[in-house]
Structure 1
Amino acid sequence: MKGFRRHALSVAIPLLLLTWGGTAAAQSATPEADDADQQARTLDTVVVTAERRDEPLQTTPLAATVLSGEDLEKWGVSVVDQLQFATPSATVNNFGQGIDFNIRGIGKAEHNTQTTTGVITYRDGVATFPGYFAGEPYYDIASVEVLRGPQGTFVGQNATGGAVFVTSKDPVVGGEVEGYVAGQLGNYSDVALQGAINLPIGETLAARISVNGENRDSFWDITGPWTGSDGRLRSRSARLGLLWTPSEALSVLFKTDYNDLDMGAYPSDPVTATNDLFDITANAEMKAHDRFTRSVLKLDYRFANGIRFRSTSGYQQGQTAYAADLDGTSTGNTIFRDVVDETIWSQEFNLISPETGRINWILGAYWQKDTYTFLPGEFVIGAPPGSVFTEYRLEGTNPKKTSALFGQVGFNITDKLELELGGRYAHSDTTNNIDVSQYGTPIQSIQTAKFKNFSGKVALNYEVDANHFLYAFAATGFRPGGLNVPVGFGVPAPFDGEKVQSFELGWKAVWLDGRVHTQLNTFYNNYDNFQVTIGYPDLPVFGFELNVPETTKMHGFEAQVQAYLGKWRIDSGLGVLSSKLGQFYATDPRSVSVLPCNPLTGPVSVSCIDLKGRDQTYAPELTFNLGVQRSFTVGSGTLTPRITYSHVSEQWATLFQNEARGDLIESRNIVTAQIAWQRGDWLVTLYGTNLTDQRYVAAINSGLRFAGAPRQFGLRATKWF
C-alpha cells in the first residue's frame, strides 16, 4: 500500500505542477456562454464570508476552496459526501445516520451524539446539526466555502478540522421576475426536478422560492427475508427567502427550509465480506428517513460612522429514523433501530468596523442550545430482538448548551503588512438524562460535564503587490468532550475536549493578467486529546471513550489552482498529509479481554496494543483532483465537454489498523464527465459520475461496510427565464 501511495503521489505532483490550478470560482450572474476574459475578471470577485466580512479569497489568510453553484454541477457535487472529490485534504465517510467528515485528518471518528463534529457546516449563516441530517441536498446555491484548518475564532469549538459555509441564493430587491427550471433523467430510474423564482414585492421587498425533488431506484440487490426499504431515494426540499431593505442602512433577510429526505435505507454487509458491495443479504427492517426544518433571520444595520451591527437567529428542528441489519447478513439476527428528535436554537451578534482606517475589528457573541430526545421504545439494539434480556434499550434526553465571546482586530503596520489578532472564549455543558435497559438490567444516568476554552489566532499578512499575497499564522482550535453511557460499572468518567495547535504558511498569487490563480500552503499541527473508543482500561469488556494521552503530530502541504487559458479551463487541487500518533496503549473494543491496559504504560500483551507512531484515522496521505474543460462554438451555441478525476488514497477507520477486521478503507478514484450545450436561455447537459463504476467502501461502522455510489449517468436540461 505504501508503494501505491508513492506511485500515486509521483503522478499527482507533476500533473499539478503542469496545470497549477484550484477550485475557486464565482457563479455567473447570467447564463451566457463562457468567455475567458470575462471569467478571469469574475475570479477577482470570489469572496469568503466565514470571517463575518465579504473578503477576497486571494487576500484572506486561510486555506479555502470556494465553489459556486455552477462549479458544484461541473464537479458532480449535489450532497456533502461529494465535496471530498472537489477539494483537497477532505474525506467524507457516510454510514447512513451520520458522517465522518475530516479535513487534514481532523474531524470526527466516533459515532455518537456525545462526540461532536470537528468540521461544522453552516447554512445561510447558522451552524447546522452536528451529526444527524447530513444528507441535505445542494440546490439553488450561491456558494460553498470549504475552510481547512482550525477556525477557532469565528466558528468556535466544532471547527478543529475546518468548516463548510453553504449559502443559498438571496432574493433580489428591485429585480425582475426571473428564475430557472431544471429537470433530470438518469439510470436507476432517476427523475429529478428543481427550480427557483425571484419575486419583487414592491420597491423594498423581494421573495425567492426554490424547490428540489428527486426519485431514484435502489443501487442494491438484496436477498433474504428483510422488511422496509431497499435503499431507493425519495427526496423533497423547499426554501422560501424574503429580503426587506427599507433603507440603505438596514436589511432584513429571512429564510426557511423544509426537507423530507427518505433515503430508503443504507444497506450494508460485514467488512470482511468478499461479495459485490451491492449484492447483499439481510433479514431485518431497513429504514433511513430524515425530516427537518430550519429558519434563519438575519438583520444587518450600518450606522452613520460605518460600523455594522448584525444579528443572526436560527431555529432548527428535525426527526431522524433509522433501522438496519446490524450483522449485515440473513444468517445472523442482530438489529439496530432508533428515532431521535433534535432541536437547536442559536443566536449570534456581531459588531463590524469599517475597513477604511489602519485598524479594523470584529466583536461577537454566540449562544446555542441543542437538545437530543431519544424517544421511548425506539432506540434498540437487539441480539436477537424481541426480549428485554436480549436487547439494549435507551431513552431520555441529552441537552447541550454553548456560549461564547469572540473578536478579532487587524492592524495595518504598513500599506502592505497587516497583523491580525483573534480570540474566542467558549463555555459548554452537556447533560445525560437517560434510562438504559441493558439486557434486562435497568441503569439510570443523570450526569453533567462542563468544558471551557480560549482559542486564538495570530496572523501576519503581507501583500507583496497586486498579484502576490503571503501569510503566516499560529492558531488553536477546541472541541468539547462528552459523557460516556453507563454500562453497569457505575457512573463512567467523561472524556475531555480536544485541542489543536496549527501553524501555517501560505502564498496566493495571480498570473497571466488574472487568468491563473494559485494557492500554496504548508501546515504543522499538534493534536492533543484525540477522542477515541477503546476497551475499558481496567476491565476491557465494554467500550469506553477517552482521550489519547500523548500528542499526535500532523503536517502536510496543499496546492490549488484555477486557470482560464483561451477556451480552456483547468482546475486542480492537491493535499499531502503525514500523521503520527503519540505513545498510547489500548485494547481493541471489538476484542473481549479481562487483561488491564493502561493507556500510558500498558503493558503490551496479546490484547494491550502499543499504538505509538500509527496513522491518524481518516487521514489519507494523498488527495488529488483535476478538472479540464474546453469550449467550442457550434452554430449559435456553445458546446463544452468537461472531465474530472479525483483521488483519495487509502485511510484507516480505527487506530488498531487491523486489515483482517476491515479497518482499511481502500483508495477512491472517481472520474466524472459531462458535455454541456448552451444556447441562449437553455442549457442541456449529458453527465456521468463514477464513470469507471468503481466499487468502493464509503464508510465503515459497527463492523459493517457501506458502499459509495456506483456509476450514474443521464441528461439534465435547464431553462432560465
Structure 2
Amino acid sequence: MKAYACWLGASALALCWSGNAAAQTAPATPAPQDNGTAATDNGDAPGDIVITAQRRNEDLMKTAVSASVLTGTQLENKGVVNVDALQFAMPSVVVNNFGQGNDFNVRGIGKAEHNTQTTTGVITYRDGVPTFPGYVQGEPYYDIANIQVLRGPQGTIVGQNATGGAVFINTNDPIIGGGYRGYVQLQYGNYNDAGAQGALNIPVSDTFAARIALYGERRDGYYNVTGPTGAKFNDANNKLGLAAGRISFLWKPDQHFSVLSKTDLGYLDFGAYPASPYLNNFRTLPGTSTPNPNYSDLLDITANYPQGARDKFVRSILKIEYDTDNGTKFRSVTGIQNANTMYKADLDGTATGDETFFDSVDETQFSQEFNIISPDNQRVTWLLGAFGLWNTYVFPAPYDNFTIDVCHSLNLAACKYQLKGRNPERNLALFGQIGFNITNNLKLEAGGRYTASRSINHVDVLQYGLYIRDDQEVTSNNFSYKVSLGWKASSSQYLYAFVASGFRPGGLNVPVGLGLPAPFKPETVTSYEAGWKGNFLGGKLRTTLTGFYNDYRNFQVIIGYPTYPTFGIELNVPGKTKIYGFEGEIEFHSGGFSFDAGINVLHSELGTFYASDPRVPATGACDPSTGSPTHAANCVNLNGREQTYAPNFTFNVGAQYEIPVGTSDKIIPRVNFGHIAPQWATLFENPALGDRLGERNVLNAQLAWQHGKWTVTAYATNLIDQHYAGALNSGLYFAGPPRQYGIKLLKTF
C-alpha cells in the first residue's frame, strides 16, 4: 500500500484533500457604490483610505496597523476575480489551491496544513461574520464594496483570534434615500466563459431600503483530460457552473438605531479539480539528465475515475447598532451559515491507477459578537467585545460519505479508509482595547483578549476493515494582547510600533489503529512590528514601509507518526520558528495616471525538530525533540528549514491611464503584474518529491472604453499563459488557471 495513501488515511478528519476552491471563479464587481472604505478621487490626489476593520472609521495612513484596501472597482480593474488572485494584487499574501478550501497565508502564517482539524491563522469575514474556516472558499466576488486585508496578529478588536491576519470582505449595503440605482454586467470569454451579474437598490421608504444582487457564470473546462484508451475523458474536467444571490435590508427609523440583514445563497459547481503526479511535471528524471518519459503539461491530465466538486451554502447575518447621544455605540452581529461540500477525485492522478477519494460533508456555523465602542472624539477611547462561535463538521452516515479507496475496482473493505460522525468546535472570547492620546500627535493603545476553545470528536472509523471508535475532547485557553504607539510626526508623516500576540487552538488526531494519538497543542505567535507611512506631493504620492519579526511557537504540522512513520499525525514543533522581513507599498495619482506597487521580503527558519517524511516508507521511532535512538536515516532534523508556503519574495505592480476622448468618453488602458517567488510545500524540502513549487508570474491587462454610464472592457488574465503548480497535495500538482480573455459590458444606473 502506498505511503501517501496511508498518510491520507491517518488524518481522515484532517481531510488532506481540503484546500482551495475554484481556480477561476466570479469576476469582481464594479461596485459603483464602494461603501465607506476606499480611496476616492479628489482632483489629482486621492482621498483618505478609511478602514472599518478595527470597528471604527480610521484613516489607514494614521493608524498603527499594516493593511491593504481594494475597492470593488479596484478589484475589477486589477483582474482580481477570486480569493486566489488576491496574492497577485497585494504583498505578503499567498494562496494555495487544493480543491475544497484554501491554504491562505499572510507573512508565512495562516494555514499550512490542508485539513479540517487545524484551524486557520488568517480569518476571512464577510460583512462582519467569520466564514467557514476550511470549506466553501469559492464563493464569487460580486457587488463588493471593498476588501481589507490586515497583516499580523488580530484579536483585541475583532471577533475571532488570528495569528497571521484577517480579511474583511464587505458587500454593498442598501441606501436609504438613494433611489433606484445599481448596475448590470455581461461578459464572454474564451473557454465559452459566459457570465452575468447585477445589483439593484430599492428605496422602500424614508427609513427602509433593500438591495438585491445576483450572479451567474458558466465556463468550459480548460484541462485536456484523457482516459485509459487515450480518448477524451469528460468526467474529470473543471467545467464551471455558478449561481449566487444576495438580498439585503436596511432599516433606520432614526439617527440612533439601525438594523441591517443580509442573506447569501450559492450553488457552486466547479466540475472537478484534475491533478497530475508531480513527477509528470519534471522534464528530466530527478537527479539525472535523462528525459522523463511521462512528462506532460500541467493542463494535460489522465484519469479513469469520474470526478466532481460542488459547494452549496446559505449565510444570514444580522447587524444591529444603537448610537447614544454622546456617541457611544452598541453593536450586535449575528451569523448563521449552513453548507454542504462534495468532492470526488482520482487519487492517483492517472488513467491506470485504482485509488479514489469521495466525501460529502455538512458544516454549520453560528457566531455572535457584541461590541460597546466609545466615541472617537475623546482623549481616551475604548472598545469592549464578547464573541462566540460554534462550528460543526458532520460526516454523514453511512461510511460511504467519506472514503479513501486504494483499490477501487475491487470494492474491498480492506482497501478503504472510511468514517462517519461529528466534529463540533467552540470558541468563546472576551476582548477589549483602550487608546490614550498622550498628546495631540502621540497615541498609546493597549488591548487584550481571553479565548477559550474546545474541539470534540464523535467519530466511527473503518480503517481497512478495522473498526475504531474515537470519542475525544481537547480544550485550549489563551490570553493574547497588543500594545502600540503611533506618532504623527507631521501632517503628512506617521510612525508606529507595536508588539502583539496571536493564538490558534489545538486539536485532535484521528486514530490510525495504533491507539488514540495525543491531541496537538495550541500554537502562538508574538509579533514585533514598526512602520512608517508618508504622504507627498500634496497627497498624490503615498508610501508605507513596515518591518516585522515573529516568534512562532508550537507550530502545528503533519509528519510521520513518531513510532510508526508510515502513518501521519499532527503535532507541534518543539523548537521556535522565526519569521521576519519587511513590506513596502507605494501609490501615486496625478491627473489621469495612477500607479501602485507592493513588495515583501521574508525569511523563515524552523527550530530544532526531528521528523519522518510519511511519503517515504520507513521504520523505527523518531522523537520530535531528540530524534531517533537508533539513528534511523528517515529521522531528519528540520532545524533551519523554511516555513511552508512562505516565499522569500513577493512583488506586485499596477498602472492605468485615463485618456479623454471628446467631451464625455475615456479610453483607459490598465496593466497589473504579480510575482511570487518559489516556495516549499512541505518542511522536508525534497525537490525530487515535488516539494519545490516554482515561481508564479501573472500579468493581467485591460482596455476599457467609458461612454457615460456604459463601459466596454477587453480583458486578459495571466496574459503570458504561465502554467504553474498552484499546490502540491498527496503527490499531485494542482495547476493555476491559464490565460483567459474576453469582453465585458457594464451599464450603471
**Fold-level match, TM-score > 0.5?**
yes
Q: Is the 8 A contact 1:156 1:477 kept in 2?
A: no
Structure 1 residue 354: deviation in Å? 0.3
Identify which of 60, 79, 95 aligns with 2:98. Answer: 95
Q: Is the 8 A contact 2:154 2:165 kept in 1?
A: yes
Identify which of 670, 675, 678 aligns with 2:698. Answer: 670
Correspondence for 1:337: 358
Structure 1 residue 324: deviation in Å? 0.3
Correspondence for 2:515: 490
Q: Is the 8 A contact 2:212 2:247 kept in 1?
A: yes
- Which amino acid is 1:645 matched to? F
Cα 1:196–1:596 shift into 2, 3 Å = same
Structure 1 residue 554: deviation in Å? 1.0
Structure 1 residue 36: deviation in Å? 10
Identify which of 144, 161, 167 aligns with 1:141. Answer: 144
Correspondence for 1:327: 348
Deviates more, 1:580-589 or 1:48-57: 48-57
Whole-angstrom CA distance in 1 between matches of 2:697 and 2:44: 30
Identify which of 346, 367, 370 aligns with 1:349. Answer: 370
User: Aligned pair 1:365/2:386, yes or no?
Assistant: yes
Whole-angstrom CA distance in 2 between matches of 1:487 and 1:584: 23
Correspondence for 1:267: 274
Superposition map of 1:314-463 within 5 A: 314-376=335-397, 377-385=400-408, 386-463=411-488
Q: Is the 8 A contact 1:36 1:566 kept in 2?
A: no
Correspondence for 1:287: 308
Whole-angstrom CA distance in 2 between matches of 1:422 and 1:519: 24
Structure 1 residue 471: deviation in Å? 0.6
- Which amino acid is 1:660 matched to? A
Q: Is the 8 A contact 2:122 2:164 kept in 1?
A: yes
- Which amino acid is 2:380 matched to? I
User: Aligned pair 1:538/2:563, yes or no?
Assistant: yes
Structure 1 residue 43: deviation in Å? 2.7
Q: Deviations over 1:394-442 (max 9, x none)?
A: 1100000110000000001111101000111000100000000000000
Structure 1 residue 676: deviation in Å? 0.9
Deviates more, 1:481-490 or 1:596-605: 596-605
Deviates more, 1:509-518 or 1:425-434: 509-518
Q: Is the 8 A contact 2:45 2:538 kept in 1?
A: no
- Which amino acid is 2:694 matched to? E
Whole-angstrom CA distance in 1 between matches of 2:462 and 2:43: 61
- Which amino acid is 2:80 matched to? V
Whole-angstrom CA distance in 1 between matches of 2:77 and 2:250: 29
Correspondence for 1:706: 734
Deviates more, 1:515-524 or 1:122-131: 515-524
User: Aligned pair 1:556/2:565, yes or no?
Assistant: no
Whole-angstrom CA distance in 2 between matches of 1:228 and 1:254: 40
- What is the root-mean-square deviation in Å for CA atoms of aligned residues? 1.5
Whole-angstrom CA distance in 2 between matches of 1:37 and 1:111: 41
Structure 1 residue 598: deviation in Å? 1.2
Identify which of 470, 492, 499 aligns with 1:467. Answer: 492
Percent of aligned pairs sharing the same letter: 53
Q: Look up the SS of the partner of 1:459 in the other structure.
A: strand
User: Aligned pair 1:605/2:632, yes or no?
Assistant: yes
Give unmatched runs, 5+ long, in structure 2: 1-29, 281-294
Q: How many aligned positions are there? A: 692
Q: Is the 8 A contact 2:699 2:717 kept in 1?
A: yes
Q: Look up the SS of the partner of 2:375 in the other structure.
A: coil
Correspondence for 1:82: 85
Whole-angstrom CA distance in 1 between matches of 2:57 and 2:407: 55
TM-score under structure 1 length normalisation: 0.94
Q: Is the 8 A contact 1:107 1:118 kept in 2?
A: yes
Whole-angstrom CA distance in 1 between matches of 2:131 and 2:44: 34
Superposition map of 1:115-134 within 5 A: 115-134=118-137
Structure 1 residue 573: deviation in Å? 0.4
Q: Is the 8 A contact 2:710 2:748 kept in 1?
A: yes
Identify which of 176, 180, 199 aligns with 2:179. Answer: 176
Give unmatched runs, 5+ long, in structure 1: 1-25
Q: Look up the SS of the partner of 1:82 in the other structure.
A: helix
Whole-angstrom CA distance in 2 between matches of 1:93 and 1:30: 28
Whole-angstrom CA distance in 2 between matches of 1:163 and 1:342: 21
Correspondence for 1:233: 240
Whole-angstrom CA distance in 2 between matches of 1:440 and 1:388: 5
Whole-angstrom CA distance in 1 between matches of 2:180 and 2:155: 41
Cα 1:311–1:137 shift into 2, 3 Å = same
Q: Is the 8 A contact 1:496 1:546 kept in 2?
A: yes
User: Aligned pair 1:624/2:651, yes or no?
Assistant: yes
Q: Deviations over 1:44-101 (max 9, x none)?
A: 1x22122111211111111111000011011111210000001101100011112111
Q: Look up the SS of the partner of 1:672 in the other structure.
A: strand
Structure 1 residue 28: deviation in Å? 6.3
Whole-angstrom CA distance in 2 between matches of 1:152 and 1:657: 33
Structure 1 residue 375: deviation in Å? 1.5
Whole-angstrom CA distance in 1 between matches of 2:606 and 2:104: 20
Q: Look up the SS of the partner of 1:81 in the other structure.
A: helix
Structure 1 residue 559: deviation in Å? 0.5
Structure 1 residue 154: deviation in Å? 2.6
Whole-angstrom CA distance in 2 between matches of 1:40 and 1:430: 53
- Which amino acid is 2:429 matched to? A
User: Aligned pair 1:715/2:743, yes or no?
Assistant: yes
Correspondence for 2:290: none
Runs of 4+ in 1 over 4 A off after TM superposition: 26-31, 39-42
Correspondence for 1:14: none
Correspondence for 1:109: 112
Structure 1 residue 584: deviation in Å? 0.8
Correspondence for 2:531: 506
Structure 1 residue 120: deviation in Å? 1.0
Identify which of 679, 684, 688 aligns with 1:656. Answer: 684
Q: Is the 8 A contact 1:649 1:666 kept in 2?
A: yes
Q: Deviations over 1:331-381 (max 9, x none)?
A: 110000100000001100000000222100000000110000011221000
Q: Is the 8 A contact 1:525 1:555 kept in 2?
A: yes
TM-score under structure 2 length normalisation: 0.91
Structure 1 residue 592: deviation in Å? 2.4
Structure 1 residue 605: deviation in Å? 3.1
